[in-house]
Structure 1
Amino acid sequence: MQNVLNTLRVLEEVAERQPAGVAELSRALELPKSSVQRALVTLHTADWIRPAPGTPTRWLVTTKALRVGRRASGELGLRDIAVPVMEELRRRTDETVHLAIPEGGQIVLIERLETSKPVRIILPLGHNLPAHASANGKALLAAGPARTVEELVARGLERFTDASITDPGAFLGELAAIRERGYATNRGEWRDDVSAVAAAVTGAGGVPVASISVNVPTSRMTDESQLALGVAVREAARTVGEMIGRMGPV
C-alpha cells in the first residue's frame, strides 16, 4: 500500500513541478531517490508520465491524467461545448483563452487555447487559480452563493502582489461591480505579469459551472483593450451557458 501511495504522490509532484527530475522530487517529497525512481518507472510504464524533450532524465505528465480527470467530473462534456466558442474568442482577440471550473473549493484550469503572439501567458492544465486574485476566480465568486464568498473572506485574502485586493470591504465592492458589468478583471493581482478578463458560465438555475477568460501579459493590457476583451468574454460565456441549457446537464 505504501508503494502505491508514494507513486501517487510522485505523480502529483511531477504535475506540480514538471519537468521534474529524481533529485528534485526526492527532496520535495522527502523520499529516497530509489523510491522515487521506482515510482517514475511505474508511472512511465503505465503511460502517466513521459520524458521531457531533450532532457530524458526529467519528466512531464501525459494527457492521460487529463482524460481521466475529465471523465471523473464530467468536464469532457463541458469542454466539448466550450472549446468551439473559445476558438472563436481566440480568433477574435488573438490572445490566450482559458476554461476553468470550481472544484473542491479550488478554481481549476481545464483547457487552454494559446495566442499566436510570441509573448504569452502559459499556465499548466490542472493548475489551481487563486479565487480572489484571478479573473476566473472572481467571476465565479460573483456568480456563486454568498456563503462561498463569506467563507473565503473569513479565512483571509492573501496578498500576492501590490495589486491584490485584501480588504474585505473593497473585495465585496469588486464582486458587486463584476455582477453589474458581467465580467471580472485582473490587472496583476496574482502575478505582476499576468492580466485577464473572465466571465462565469452559468447552468441550470443560474449556478456557475465554469468560467472563460482571456489572458494577456500585463504589458499588453490597456483600459481600452480590457473593455473590449471583457465584452467579448461575456458574450462567449453567455453563449456556452445557453448551449448547456439547451443540451441539458453536463
Structure 2
Amino acid sequence: MKSVQRAFDVIDALWKLDGAGPTELARTIDIPRSTAHVYLQTLASTEYVVGADGTYELSHSFLSMGSRLKYRNQLYQVSHRSLRVLTDETDEIVTLVIEEAGEAVFLHNETVQRRYRVA
C-alpha cells in the first residue's frame, strides 16, 4: 500500500510544482531519482501523467474523470434542470456546492445566458 500512497505523493508534487523532471521530483518528495523516474514512467503509462523533454506534468485525464464524477452525482442529476430554470428566472449565476471530507466542492455553476442583438 505504500506504493499507492507514494503514487499520490508524486501526483500531488507534480501539481504543486506545475510539472517536474525526475531529479526535481526526487528532491521534493525525498526519494531516489531512479524511483522518481519509475513512478513517472508508470503514471505516464496510465495517461494521468504526460512527459516531454524530461519534464512530466498532470494530464487532462483528471479533468475528464472529475467531469464524469459530476454527471454521476445524484444531486446534480436531479437538480441540473432546476438550476437552469432558477438562473433563467433570476438572471443570476446559480452554484451547486456539496460537502466532501469537510471541504466545499463546487459541483456546478449555471451561468446566465445573455442574448445580444446586433443592430
Question: What is the TM-score with the length of structure 1 in the denominator?
Answer: 0.31
For the pair 1:66 / 2:70, whether they are aligned, the reply is no
1:57 to 54, 64, 84: 54
Q: What is the match of residue 37 of structure 1? A: 37
Which letter maps to 1:24? E
Which consecutive unaligned segments of at least 5 residues does structure 2 have? 81-94, 114-119
- The whole-number CA distance in structure 2 between the counterparts of 1:47 and 1:3 is 18
| 1:7 positional shift | 1.7
The CA RMSD measured in Å over matched residues stands at 3.3
Q: What is the match of residue 5 of structure 1? A: 5
For residues 72-87 of structure 1, what are the structure 2 equivalents within 5 Å? Answer: 72=69, 74=70
User: Relative to 1, partners in 2 of residues 1:71 and 1:46: Cα closer, same or farther, differing over 3 Å?
Assistant: same
Contact kept, 8 Å, 1:100 with 1:107, in 2: the verdict is: no
**Larger radius of gyration between Structure 1 and Structure 2:** 2
User: Relative to 1, partners in 2 of residues 1:3 and 1:107: Cα closer, same or farther, differing over 3 Å?
Assistant: same
| 1:38 positional shift | 0.8
Contact kept, 8 Å, 1:14 with 1:59, in 2: the verdict is: yes
Q: What is the match of residue 135 of structure 1? A: none
Secondary structure of residue in 1 paired with 2:47: coil
Q: What is the match of residue 24 of structure 2? A: 24
- The whole-number CA distance in structure 2 between the counterparts of 1:50 and 1:100 is 32
| 1:2 positional shift | 1.9
| Cα deviation code 1:199-231 (max 9, x no counterpart) | xxxxxxxxx85457xxxxxxxxxxxxxxxxxxx
Q: What is the match of residue 196 of structure 1? A: none
Aligned positions, number = 93
Which consecutive unaligned segments of at least 5 residues does structure 1 have? 82-98, 109-207, 213-235, 241-250
- The whole-number CA distance in structure 1 between the counterparts of 2:17 and 2:48 is 15
- The whole-number CA distance in structure 1 between the counterparts of 2:51 and 2:38 is 15
